[in-house]
Chains A and B, each alone.
Chain A
Amino acid sequence: MTWWLLFAAAVLVFAVWGWRRTSSPQAFFAASRSVGPLLAGLGGTAAGLSAFVFVGGPGYFAAVGAASLWIILSAPLTGALQCWAVGERVVSLVRSHGCLTVPDLVASRFGEGWPRGLTALAVAVGAIATLAVQVKGAAIVGEVLLGTPGWMVAWAAVAATVVYSAAGGMRTGILAEAAQGLVMAAAAIALAVFALARAGGPRQAIATIAELRPELLDPWGGPGPTAAIGLFLLFALGTCAQPHYLQKFLLLRDRASLRWLPLVMTGALLAVLTVWVGVGLGGTALWLRGDLELQSPDQLAPVLLASTGSRTFVVIAAVAVVAAVMSTAASLLNLVSAAFTRDLPRALGLSPSSNLLAARLATVGAGIAAAGLALASDRPVALLGVLGWGTFTAALLPVMVVGLGWKRASRQGAIAALTVGPLVQLAAEWGRSAGTLALRWEPGLLGAAVGALALVVLSLGHGTNTREEACG
C-alpha cells in the first residue's frame, strides 16, 4: 500500500510540474521543440517498444522460435532509416511550416481538408488499438506476476499516464518516456541474463531447443520465408510511418540533433530487445524441459518471473514492464488528443482552440476508450500490436515516404493513398482471420503497397496540384 501511495504522489507532483510549464499547444504537443537527441532517442525507443516486446516478444519466440526474430532483425537499421527516409524531411517542414503534429505535416504538403482529416483519423484509430495493447500487457503482468486482478493494474497504469500526460502533454511525456526507456533497458538486460542463466547459459538453451523442438531454431519456420521477409520489411519500413516515432522529430530543437539520434535509438533499442531473445531463448528452453507451465505463449515472461520465488525481484520486473507500458501510452494519448482537438476540427474548417482544456479532456477520453477496448478484446497481445502497427504503415507510409519525397505527388493521390491503404489492410486482416488469404500476405504491407500505387497513378494522372500551407 505504501508503494502505491508513493507512486501516486510522485505522479501527482510530476503532473503539477508539467501543468505549470505547459500553457500553449506548442508546449503540449511538441514539448516546445526543446528536445535533444538523447531524450528523443530514449523517449522514441521507449514509446515504440513496450508490452509488445516484454510480453508478446518472448511469447512469440516460444510459439514460432527464430522465425519471430524477423520482426526485430531490422533493429540495427531503423534509427538511421527513419532519419534518412523521413526525419530530415520532417525537420525541414517543422522549420518551414511550423508543424506540430503528423497531420500537420501531411496538410503542409497536400493542403487542408481531407488529407489532414484522413491522417488524423488513421492516427486516432491506430493509436487507440496500440494503446489497447499497452493496457492488455499491463493486465497480463498484473494478473500473472503480482497476483492482483489484471484490470486493476491496467487501470492504475493508464490512470497515472493520463494524469501526467493530460497535465503536461509531451513536455512531461518525453521526460517520463526517456526515464522509462532507461528502466526498460536495464530491466530487459537483467531479465535476459537471468533467463539464460536459469536455462544453463545460451549454449545449453540452444542445445535444449535443438534436441526437443529443433524446428524452433529454423529462421524460416512458421508461415515460411516469404512471410518472414514480409515481417522484416513491415517492421523496417513501418518505423517511417508510426506517428509516435514521427512525433519525436517534431520535438527536436534543431537539425543537428539528428546526427546522433540513430546511435541513441539503436543502442536503446538493442538493449531492450535483449529481452525478446534472452527470455525467449532461455524461457523456451525451460518450458520445453518442463520447468515452466504455460497456458498460452504470452505468459512466458510473466510465468518465468513468477517462478523465481523472489517477491522483490518480481515486483521490480513488474514495475519495469508497467513503466514500459506507460511510456508508449503517453505518446499515443498525446497523438489521439491532437487528432481530436486540433487536426479533425481543422480538417472540418473549424479553428482549434488555443486553450488546452479540450486537449487535456481528450487525453482522458482516449485513456478510457483504450482501456475499455483492451479489457473487452480477446485478441492476444502480439496480434493487437501487429494490427496497430499495420494500420499506421498502410495509412501513412505512402504519404510520408513517397508523398513527402516526390514533388509531383498530388492531393488526389494522397487522399486516395490515405483511404485505400487502411481499407486494404483491414480487408486483408479479415481475409487472413477467415482463412481466405494466405498468411504470407502481410496486411499492413499490402495496404501500403496498394496505397503507394494509388498515390503514384493518381498523381501522374492529375499532375502537380499540391497546396503548400503553413501549419499555424
Chain B
Amino acid sequence: MRAFTPVVVLLLVTGWLLAVAFDQPLLAALVAVLCLGAVCADAVRRRAPARPPAVALTSILVVLGGFIGLLLLNPPGGAGGFLAQIAVVAVLAPVVPLVYALTFGGEDRGE
C-alpha cells in the first residue's frame, strides 16, 4: 500500500492550513510529524523486508511527536523546555542516521 497518495497530500495540506489559520499548535504538530513520515514512507516501503525500517521510522516519529506534544500540553517552567530540546537532539542524532544505514539495501524493490 502506498502511503503518499493524493488523498494523504490533500489531508496533510488541509490540516496544515487549518492549524495555522486557527492557531492550533497541537494539530500543527500532528501534521508536521505525519508529513515527515509520509515523505519517507515510499522509500521505506521499497525496502526488502519493509517491516524493520517501518517500525524504526514509526518509533522515531513517536519520540518526536511525543516530545513536541509534551512540550505543548505541559510546558515546563524555567530552563526545562530548553533542556528538553537539547535532550531530544542528543537522543535522535545518533539513532536516526544509524537506522538509515542499518536498514539500507544495495538495491531496493523498485516501484
Contact = CB atoms under 8 A, between A and B. Distances in A.
A451 to B, nearest CB: 10
B104 A258 contact: yes
Contacts of A405: 4, 42
Contacts of B81: 66, 217-220
A402 B23 contact: no
B62 interface: no
Contacts of B98: 263
A302 to B, nearest CB: 24
Contacts of B99: 80
Interface string A332-366: 00000000000000000000000000000000000
B16 A76 contact: no
Contact of A73 (B4, B23, B44, B89): B89
Given A76-B96, A440-B20, A460-B6, A237 B36 contact: yes
Contact of A229 (B6, B25, B43): B25
A230 B20 contact: yes
Q: Chain B: interface secondary structure?
A: helix
A402 B9 contact: yes
Interface in B16-48: 16-17, 19-20, 23-25, 28-29, 32, 35-36, 39-40, 42-44, 46
Contacts of B4: 402, 405-406
A380 interface: no
Interface residues of B, number: 53
Contacts of B111: 407
B78 A240 contact: no
Interface in B40-93: 40, 42-44, 46, 60, 64, 68, 71-72, 75, 78-79, 81-82, 84-86, 88-89, 92-93
A355 B23 CA distance: 54
Most chain A beta carbons < 10 A, residue from B6, B86, B97: B97
Interface in A189-245: 206, 210, 214, 217-220, 224-226, 229-230, 232-233, 236-237, 240
A430 interface: no
B25 A225 contact: yes
A77 B28 contact: no
Interface string A10-38: 00000000000000000000000000000
B101 A262 contact: yes
Given A66-B82, A76-B93, A77-B92, A263 B101 contact: yes
Contacts of A206: 79, 82
Nearest to A41: B97
Interface string A266-278: 1100100000010
B35 A233 contact: yes
A402 B5 CA distance: 9
A256 B108 CA distance: 11
Contacts of B68: 229, 232
A277 B86 contact: yes
A88 interface: yes
A263 B97 contact: yes
Given A258-B104, A266-B93, A230 B78 contact: no
Contacts of A125: none
A75 interface: yes
5 contacts: A76-B97, A77-B36, A80-B40, A84-B43, A406-B6
